[in-house]
Each structure stands twice: as structure tokens, then as C-alpha cells.
């Protein structure tokens, strides 16, 4: 989900990383008196700190977290990292498929994750890895438009808001070409996974038209800009926008009527992880229903843990951005791995970026 400047062509190239897939864990023995370190690579603000501290206490370990702002940034970093640098990753589902297809992920041991039984079966029906062979659902969210209710007159829940010249310089879109070109495709009535050259050309023209009204493309600052009033309309992730809303009732969030992206992030263990058993323990910890409910309330993205829903607040259970009703869900679409066709998007994005 939250996520930025893409360089997807690199994803077609196999990573030059040894990928031993031994069945037994490869834990590195800690020195006497030294706690084992679980190294996690994930999105920013994506795990509640108090839960990390609890896991450390219960498992007599230390958790070290590095963050990234896009799946592709994570991918590029993995290519250049030392073997065994990370034990747990949180990529989006399409990136999980890329990593799995390149034999870069470890097959999970379900015996070490008894809480797998808590995963929402409705989620699994949409997942790429329905057997949870190498990935486990972490969170899901919807891409939305956030806006200042008192300052944006005549707001309509449509991607067409980005055509509003009267809001020029006070709007932004995600620095993420699958999301941004995808929004234009949905606006035009097409699939956000289209590989049709004519449809993509039309989408490029729409994004270029919108670009004239944008302050810029941004993945990290947009929720702060909306909260401060520097931006009046932003294209962003529902969870991020909800994080900006507490204490500021003027911030409104809408899912465009033409449809939007539904994003899933998963937990996976790299093939060359060193703390394999501890990584499994962390996954199992996250899937505890009480932990999952606490996470959902904190990160404002739904952890698809069916048992946890009973522990959510009534306000959260009624939030359509977390548990979308059928009429909204039918207009949402998952971003898919397009293989070699991602090069088309990369080319279009570069042309959009280069255009004045």
C-alpha cells in the first residue's frame, strides 16, 4: 500500500541473491547474554510500538525495523543488501508474487503459526496465495480522495475532482504510477490493470491534464499537508487519511464512484532469513485476535483477522473504508503483477514525469 516512485522494470530481473531453502531454521546463535535480533523491513508507521515492545518481552529478543516507501524501493534494496539482512518483509500482494516467482521467499511452516486459523476466509478468496504457502495477510486498504470539507465547495466523489482548475496548486496525487495511472484508467471506465495501448494512451492524457492542477506527486507528506490545510484535495491511502483526521473533523474521505484500488500487504520470510523461527513467532503474534484488533485501530488499515472483528470498536466496525459494503466492494480492484507489460507503465510514467 503506501507507496512510491516505481521502477518496475527491475522486477523482471532475477535478484542475484543466494536462496537456500532448507526446511530447518537457520537461526544465528546469539553470544552469551545477547538477545537474538529479528530484523523487519516494512512501511513506516505500520506496527504499533507497544506491540513490538510486548513481543520483545515475551520472546526475549530485540526487534530492529527499517522502513521503505514503495514496494520497488524495497525490491531495489533487497538486491543490494547483504545475505540474511532481513527476517520478515511486508510487501504488497503483487510484489509477493514477484518475489515468490523468483524463489526469494521461504515456504512457511504452518505448525509454527497456529493462529492462521483466524484469517478471514473472505479475504483468502481474493488472495493470490490462498493456501498461505509463503505469505500471510497483514492488512488491507482502499485508495481514496481526502479533502477539506469546508474549503472544497461542490465536492463530488469522483476522480474528476482532479480536473478542478480552481483548486490548482492545492491538490496532489500519489507518486506511484500503478495507483496514479490506475486512477485515470478507472476514471475512464477501464481496468486499472489494463495493458491495452489505446487505453493506456488515454490514461496518460488524463494524468497529464490533472498534473497541471497538482502541487506534485507525493507518497509521504500528503496527509500532513491535508491536515495543515496546505492541500485541499489529495489522492492517498484510506488508512493514512484516517490517521490525519482525528481532532480535525474538516478532513473528509471519499472513495471515487468510478472505483479505486484495493491493496493488500502480506507478511513473508525471505529465503535467506537468519531468524526463521522467530519470524514465524512474530507472524503468529500478529494473528492473535486481540493483537490484530489493536493493530487495526492503530494503523487504520484492516487486519483481515475474522476473530478480531468482535474486538473492534463499534465505530471501526461501521467504517466502510475498513469493511466496505458490497456496493463499494464491487467497484474496487486489486493491483496485479503485469509481468513484462509493466514496462508500458514505466514508460508512460517517465513521459508524465518529464512533461512540463
DSSP state, residue 19: -
pLDDT (tens digit per residue) in 226-256? 999 999 999 999 998 998 888 788 999 999 9
Say yes or no: 54 and 121 in one domain: yes
Q: Which domain holds residue 118?
A: 8-138+264-318
pLDDT at 184: 98
Residue 2 included in any domain: no
Q: Tally helices (H) and strands (E) across the chain.
A: 13, 10
Comparing 19-33, 87-101, 114-128, 200-214, the range with the smallest average pLDDT is 19-33
Residue 1 included in any domain: no
102 close to 276: Cβ distance less than 8 angstroms: no
Q: What is the mean pLDDT of the chain?
A: 89
Q: Could you write out the DSSP letters of every residue in 196-228?
A: -HHHHHHHHHHHHHHHTTEEEE-SSSHHHHHHH
Residue 324 included in any domain: no
Say yes or no: 193 and 128 in one domain: no
Say yes or no: 44 and 117 in one domain: yes
- The CA distance from 221 to 146, in Å, is 13
pLDDT at 246: 81
Task: Give the pTM.
Answer: 0.80
Say yes or no: 217 and 172 in one domain: yes
pLDDT at 84: 67
- The CA distance from 339 to 341, in Å, is 5
Of 148, 142, 141, residue with least CA distance to 225: 148
Q: Assess whether pLDDT exceeds 50 at residue 11.
A: no
Of 160, 269, 174, residue with least CA distance to 206: 160
Count of domains for the chain: 2
Q: How many residues does the chain have?
A: 356
pLDDT (tens digit per residue) in 47-59? 999 999 999 999 9
Say yes or no: 249 and 160 in one domain: yes
pLDDT band at 81 (very low <50, low <70, confident <90, very high): confident
Say yes or no: 69 and 207 in one domain: no
Q: What is the CATH number of the domain that holds 55?
A: 3.40.190.10
Cβ count within 10 A of residue 239: 27
Say yes or no: 69 and 179 in one domain: no
Say yes or no: 119 and 247 in one domain: no
Residue 3 included in any domain: no
Residue 282 included in any domain: yes
Residue 326 included in any domain: no
184 close to 143: Cβ distance less than 8 angstroms: no
Amino acid at each position: 500500500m503506501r507507496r512510491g516512485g516505481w521502477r518496475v522494470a527491475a522486477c523482471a530481473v532475477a535478484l542475484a541473491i543466494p536462496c537456500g531453502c532448507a526446511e530447518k531454521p537457520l537461526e544465528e546463535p546469539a553470544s552469551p547474554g545477547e538477545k537474538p535480533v529479528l530484523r523487519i523491513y516494512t512501511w513506516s508507521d505500520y506496527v504499533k510500538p507497544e506491540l513490538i515492545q510486548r513481543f520483545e518481552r515475551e520472546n526475549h529478543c530485540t526487534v530492529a525495523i527499517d522502513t521503505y516507501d514503495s514496494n520497488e524501493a524495497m525490491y531495489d534494496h533487497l538486491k543490494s543488501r547483504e545475505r540474511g539482512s532481513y527476517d520478515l518483509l511486508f510487501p504488497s500482494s503483487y510484489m509477493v508474487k514477484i518475489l515468490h516467482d523468483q524463489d526469494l521467499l521461504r515456504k512457511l511452516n504452518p505448525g509454527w503459526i497456529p493462529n492462521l486459523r483466524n484469517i478471514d476466509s473472505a479475504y483468502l478468496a481474493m488472495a493470490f496465495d490462498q493456501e498461505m504457502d509463503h505469505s500471510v495477510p497483514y492488512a488491507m486498504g482502499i485508495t481514496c480522495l481526502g479533502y477539506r470539507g469546508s474549503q472544497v465547495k461542490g465536492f463530488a466523489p469522483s476522480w474528476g475532482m482532479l480536473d478542478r482548475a480552481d483548486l490548482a496548486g492545492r491538490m496532489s496525487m500519489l507518486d506511484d504510477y500503478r495507483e496514479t495511472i490506475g486512477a485515470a484508467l478507472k476514471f475512464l471506465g477501464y481496468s486499472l490493470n489494463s495493458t491495452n495501448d489505446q487505453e493506456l494512451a488515454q490514461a496518460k492524457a488524463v494524468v497529464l491534464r490533472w498534473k497541471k492542477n497538482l502541487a506534485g506527486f507525493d507518497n509521504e507528506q500528503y496527509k500532513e499537508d491535508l491536515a495543515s490545510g496546505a492541500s485541499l484535495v489529495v489522492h492517498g491511502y484510506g488508512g493514512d487519511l484516517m490517521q490525519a483526521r482525528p481532532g480535525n473533523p474538516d478532513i473528509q474521505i471519499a472513495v471515487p464512484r468510478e472505483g479505486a484500488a484495493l491493496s493488500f500487504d502480506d507478511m513473508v520470510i525471505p529465503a535467506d532469513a537468519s531468524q526463521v523461527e522467530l519470524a514465524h513467532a512474530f507472524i503468529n503474534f500478529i494473528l492473535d485476535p486481540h493483537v490484530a484488533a489493536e493493530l487495526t485501530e492503530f494503523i487504520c488499515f484492516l487486519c483481515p483477522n475474522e476473530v478480531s472483528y468482535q474486538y473492534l470498536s463499534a465505530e471501526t466496525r461501521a467504517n466502510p473504508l475498513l469493511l466496505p459494503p458490497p456496493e463499494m466492494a464491487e467497484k474496487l480492484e486489486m493491483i496485479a503483477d503485469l509481468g513484462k507489460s509493466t514496462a508500458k507503465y514505466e514508460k508512460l510514467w517517465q513521459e508524465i514525469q518529464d512533461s512540463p
